[in-house]
Structure 1
Amino acid sequence: MNPLRLDSFDVFASIIRCGGFRAAALERGVSSSALSQTMNALEEALGIRLLNRTTRSVSPTEAGQRLLERLSPALRDIRRAIAEIDELRDSPSGTLRINAPAPAVDHVLCPLAFDFMDAYPDVKIEIISDAAVIDIVERGFDAGVRFGKQLAQDMIALPLGPPLRYVIVASPDYIERHGEPQAPQDLVGHDCIRRRFPGGTLVTWRFIEGGEDIEIAPEGRLTVSSAQNELQAALAGRGIAHVFDDYARTHIQAGRLVELLSDWSSALPHWFLYYPNRRLPSAAMRAFLDFMRSYDWQARR
C-alpha cells in the first residue's frame, strides 16, 4: 500500500458532505482539480474506488460509505482536540459554520455576526442560507437557526433575536384599484402573493384577534419561493403580501406599502439557534453564544 496522507481523509469527507468537488473546493478555498488529485492519490493508495463520479453527481461507493462511517467520529474528535487547544489562546479563533433560513440571515444573524466579528477578529464565520431541514452535525455545521423550538432532542436551543411578527401589506396603488380588506375573510377574491416552501407546501396565512383564530390558504396569480420576492411583488402592486415585519417596516414608514388587518396580527415565537448537546462547543462557539445572550436587539431595530 502506498503512503497515506491523513488530510486526504478530511478531503474525502468534505466532498461527500458538500455533494461534489466544486462545492468542497469552494469550502476549502482550493481548486477542484487539486481535490481530484488528492482523491485519485487516496484511492490509489488504498487500492479501491471510494467515489462514484458522474458529470452531475458524486456519491460514495460501498467501500467509501463504510470508510466514511468510521471516519466521521474520528474527524470530529480531531476537530474537538484542535478546539481544546484553541482554548489556550488569549482570543478565540477558528471558523464557525451556521445554517439558517434567509429571513433569519437577513434580519438577525448577519447583524449579530458582523458585530461579533468586530469583537473577535480571529474568528471566521460562514453563513449558509438554507430553509431545508438538515442534519447540521452530518453537514459539518456548528449551529443552525430555525423557526420555533421543535428541534431534535439532542439539540440545545436558544432564542435568537426579538419576537417575530407577520404583517399583511399591499401598495397604495393596489389598494386604490382593488379596495382594502377589513377582515381576513375579505382576502378571498383578492390577488394574494403566495409563497412555496422548499419542500413544496404553500405558506398559509394565520390571523388571531381576541379569541378567534383563522387560517387561510391564499389564492393569487403569482407564487414565489422567497420573502424577498414576495415583498418585491407587493411593492410593484402585484397583490397582497404576507411577510415578516422586518422586511416591510421601512417601506411602511416610507409610504410605499400599507399595513392591512393590523388588528389581526400577533407576535410569534423567536428564531432559535440550536447546536448539539453531545459535544462541547469550541472556544469560538462559546464566545458567540455569550455574545448572543448579551446582544442588544432593540438597538439594532
Structure 2
Amino acid sequence: MNDGPGFRELTALAAIVSHRSFRKAADDLGLSPSTLSHMMRALERDMGVRLLHRTTRSVAPTEAGERLVSRLQPLLRDIGAALAEVDNFRNLPAGTLRINSSEIAARLLLKSAVPVFLRRFPQVALDIVTEGRLVDIVGEGFDAGIRLGEAVPQDMVAIRFGGETRFIAVASPAYFATRHVPKVPEDLKDHSCIRFRLPSGKPFRWEFEKHGQEIAIDVPGMLTLDHMELMAEAAVGGLGIAYISDRLTQSYIERGALISVLDDWCPPIPGLFLYYPGHRLVLPALRAFIDVLKETG
C-alpha cells in the first residue's frame, strides 16, 4: 500500500521551488544536492507526475509542482509553527530582542517593564530603537513595535498596555496672564500655538472631540518643533499653547508650571500597543517580554 509522500519530501520540494536551486535548498535542509535530487525523482515516481523542470543550470516547478507547493506552503508553515511551539517549552528566552518604539513609550517602559524584564531574563539583550517615523518592523529587522493604537498596522497582533492616554492643550500661567483662556477649539486661532511637525514633514492637526462632535484644526503659530518634550519645555517657557501627551505634562501640571485647557474637548484614547506580525512564531524572548508587560501594566 502506498501511503503517499511524507512531510520530509514535501518540505524539500517547497524549499527547491522557493530557492529555484537544488544546491541552495540542499544547504537549507542540510542535505547533499544528489540526495535531494534522488528524493525528488522518487517523489515524482510515487505521485506519477513531473513536478520540476530541470536543466544543468536551473530548476523550476511544472504547473503541477507550482500548484502543489502553493497549497502546501500554508500547511507547512502551520506544521512548522506547531512543532516550534512545542520546542519552545524547552527553550529559555535568550538572544537579542529588538523593539521599535516611540520615545514616549520607551520612557514609560524604562520605568516599568524593562527593569523587571532585565532582572528576570539576564540572558536576553534588549535593543530598543526610538524614532518618530512609523517603520516596517519586519522589513527593518525588528521583533516588535510599540505605538499608539491608531498607528498600529491592521495585519499585526496588538497587545494594549499602559492604560488610556490623552492629548491635551497646555500653556504656562505666564502665557495666559495676558491672553484669554480658550473655551472651544476654534478659539485657538486667536492664540500662538506650538506646532508639531510629523516625520513626513507635514504639520500635525490638533484633533478634538466632544459629545460626538469632532474637530481638527491647523493651528497658527510661529514655532514648530518635531519633539514633544521640547514642546512641553517651550510651553513652560511661555512660548505658546502646546498639544501633547498627558504623560509628558503631568509633572509640569502638578507643580503649576503648565495649565491645561479645553479639557472637555480632550477625551481619553486607547493608548499604547505592542505589536508583532501574526504570521511569525513568537520568539521566547518576545513572549517573555509580553508577559512582563502585562504584569507591570
Task: Give yes or no for TM over 0.5.
Answer: yes
- Does the 8 Å CA contact 2:208/2:265 hold for their aligned counterparts? yes
User: Deviation at 1:121?
Assistant: 2.0
- The alignment partner of 1:231 has SS state of helix
CA distance in 2: counterparts of 1:83 and 1:223, whole angstroms:
49
User: Deviation at 1:103?
Assistant: 1.9
- Does the 8 Å CA contact 1:166/1:245 hold for their aligned counterparts? yes
Question: What is the root-mean-square deviation in Å for CA atoms of aligned residues?
Answer: 2.4
Q: TM-score if structure 1 supplies the norm length? A: 0.66
User: Deviation at 1:293?
Assistant: 2.2
- The alignment partner of 1:188 has SS state of helix
Match of 2:205 in 1: 204
Find the partner of 1:88 among 87, 90, 115. Answer: 90
Moved more, 148-157 or 217-226: 148-157
Mapping for residues 83-232 of structure 1, pairs under 5 Å: 88-89=90-91, 91-108=92-109, 111-149=112-150, 151-232=152-233
Amino acid of the residue matched to residue 253 of structure 1? Answer: E
User: Deviation at 1:131?
Assistant: 2.1
Match of 1:260 in 2: 261
- Runs of at least 5 residues in structure 1 that lack an aligned partner in the other structure: 1-79
Amino acid of the residue matched to residue 181 of structure 1? Answer: P
Larger Rg: 2
Match of 1:247 in 2: 248
Moved more, 180-189 or 152-161: 152-161
CA distance in 2: counterparts of 1:161 and 1:286, whole angstroms:
18
CA distance in 2: counterparts of 1:83 and 1:120, whole angstroms:
20
CA distance in 1: counterparts of 2:118 and 2:222, whole angstroms:
43
**1:153-190 Cα distance to aligned partner (Å, 9 max, x none):** 54211113211111111001001022311221111120
**1:122-161 Cα distance to aligned partner (Å, 9 max, x none):** 2211100012222211211110112225544542111132
Moved more, 253-262 or 105-114: 105-114
**1:51-75 Cα distance to aligned partner (Å, 9 max, x none):** xxxxxxxxxxxxxxxxxxxxxxxxx
CA distance in 1: counterparts of 2:167 and 2:150, whole angstroms:
18
What fraction of aligned residue pairs are identical, expressed as a percent? Answer: 37
Moved more, 155-164 or 194-203: 155-164
Q: TM-score if structure 2 supplies the norm length? A: 0.67
- Runs of at least 5 residues in structure 2 that lack an aligned partner in the other structure: 1-80
Q: How many residues align?
A: 216
153 and 169 in structure 1: CA distance in 2 versus 1, 3 angstrom threshold: closer
Amino acid of the residue matched to residue 282 of structure 2? Answer: P
Match of 1:66 in 2: none
- Does the 8 Å CA contact 1:180/1:260 hold for their aligned counterparts? yes
User: Deviation at 1:110?
Assistant: 5.5
